[in-house]
Amino acid sequence: MKPAPFRYVRPQTREEGLEALARYGEDAKVLAGGQSLVPLMNLRLARPKVLVDINRIPALGILERRDGELVLGALVRHRQLEGDPRVWEACPILSRAAACIGYPAIRNRGTVGGSLAHADPAAELGCVLLATGAVVVLESSRGRREVRIEDLFVGPYTTCIRPDELLVEVRIPAWREGTRWGFAEFTRHEGGFALALAACVVHLDGEGKVTSARVAVGGVSPLPVRLPEAEKSLRGAGLSKEGIAQAAACALSLEDYDDVHAPAWHRRQLGRWLLLQALQQAAGGGS
Amino acid sequence: MRDRISIALQVNGKPYRLEVEPRRLLADVLRRDLGFTGVHLGCEHGVCGACTVLLDGELVRSCLMFAVQADGCEILTVEGLNASGDLHPIQRAFIEEFGFQCGFCTPGMILAAYRLLQERPRPSAEEIRRALAGNLCRCTGYADILRSVQRAAVLLAEAEETRAP
């Protein structure tokens, strides 16, 4: 099938982009990499009246280290995350996860902002950014607000981004001494959509004690979630064999999520198994 | 609503200027408006890879882009590989190793292989599998396709040697 007709707007600056969104509001959709939106339009599951193509706004393509943070503009492509040495250095779990998104042709176009705004429950970036404690910056012609990544997702394919708002950048705390991480996902074939995935970022003090832990699972619930129970148990028991098993078991109590691909019980078991793998990677010293 | 936008494309080394409706997919503009029928459309939602082309040197799905987005860009389709009249070594390799079968996925496979071999002239079997994982062959001729890419690496290396003094 082919997309229904739409009006095409191509702003050259952030201000022009925000003006367009303010003007067209709910009639408009932002077009970034298009790797999720264009399939929906080709199938006519989405029929936006106006497309605001942000690809020619240079300010949205930034990738930099700033005040102990890694700052990613909305237009940073998955291929950049996968290969840029600054990302590997500041937040390696992000590069590792980006390499699992679709295929090279998809990663060349798909963007950080697009993936987050699409809010697929099993998307790699949403889950991994939950584990890193990222902050998302949203702008509109009314002003600017910062949202914690856990507040961005409100349901499957649903975020708190308002129709006139643009996700402009993501800020991620850069790695510090003693940071350990792990990432694991299950797909039915190379590059395919993940059925479930798990990510963890754990900080250890000089004696190997867990000082903080962030654990996230995707594809098991209707939206990617943190597991506060698992984090709490890791802070008590550490990255011992028992500690890991206890934390991973927390995935079994997640909310029901069934779809055509797998029943809820299967997703929860997968979540536990993947979390176990991710935590074992972290215990092993990194990845 | 049915406004048309003027765009400029460089396809296989030649410049084109045309007016398109914004909803026209890049794949359809290449195929129908410009006649590059080597751009195949299978699924139209980014799964099959038959519509793969190179956009400014990088692989993209031409069914997941509007032609207006490619305004000012350089595109390579499978037709651009043998612009000189001779078959490209990768095309020869696909014939020698029977990597085409029905031929529908072949242009996408060849362009994905082309990009892989630019980056890694001697890829391992695993690297070839990973690079081509996003291209589906409905004849399931994957073993022959894998051999074709391995053969292509040899032919390209030989071509490189004969060119050297």
B105-142 pLDDT tens trace = 999 999 999 999 999 999 999 999 999 999 999 999 99
Residue B88 contacts A, CB cutoff 8 Å: no
The one-letter amino acid at B131: A
Mutation site, B66, B68, B114, B116, interface A, largest A CB count within 10 A: B66
* Residue B163: CB atoms within 10 Å: 7
% of chain B exceeding 70 in pLDDT: 98
Q: Which of B2, B65, B134 sits opposite A191 (nearest CB)?
A: B134
Tell me how far CA of residue A27 lies from CA of A30, A31, A46, A74, A205, in angstroms.
10, 13, 11, 21, 51
Q: How far is B49 from chain A (nearest CA, A)?
A: 8
- Average pLDDT, stretch A125-142? 97
Burial of residue A62, with CB atoms counted within 10 A of its CB: 0-12 exposed, 13-18 middle, 19 or more buried: middle
Q: Assign A287 a pLDDT band (cuts: 50, 70, 90).
A: very low
Least confident stretch, A13-17, A58-62, A258-262: A258-262
Higher model confidence: residue B99 or residue A176? Answer: B99
The pLDDT assigned to A286 comes to 52
pLDDT score recorded for residue A189? 85
In whole angstroms, give the CA distance from residue A16 to residue B132.
Answer: 39
What value of ipTM does the predicted structure carry?
A: 0.95
Task: Kindly state the DSSP code that residue A279 receives in the 8-state scheme.
Answer: H
Which residues contact residue A98 at a Cβ distance below 8 angstroms, ignoring those fewer than 6 apart? Answer: A78, A79, A81, A82, A87, A107, A124, A125
Query: Whole-angstrom Cα distance, residue A140 to residue A163?
Result: 9
H or E element at residue B153: helix B142-163
A64-101 residue pLDDT tens: 999 999 999 999 999 999 999 999 999 999 999 999 99
Residue A226 has pLDDT above 80, yes or no: yes
Model-wide pTM > 0.80? yes
pLDDT tens digits, A172-207 = 999 988 899 999 999 998 888 999 999 999 999 888
Helix (H, G, I), strand (E, B) or coil at A103: coil
- Decide if B60 and A109 are in contact by the 8 Å CB cutoff: yes
Of the partner residues A8, A34, A105, the one whose CB lies closest to the CB of residue B5: A8
**pLDDT, position B165:** 64
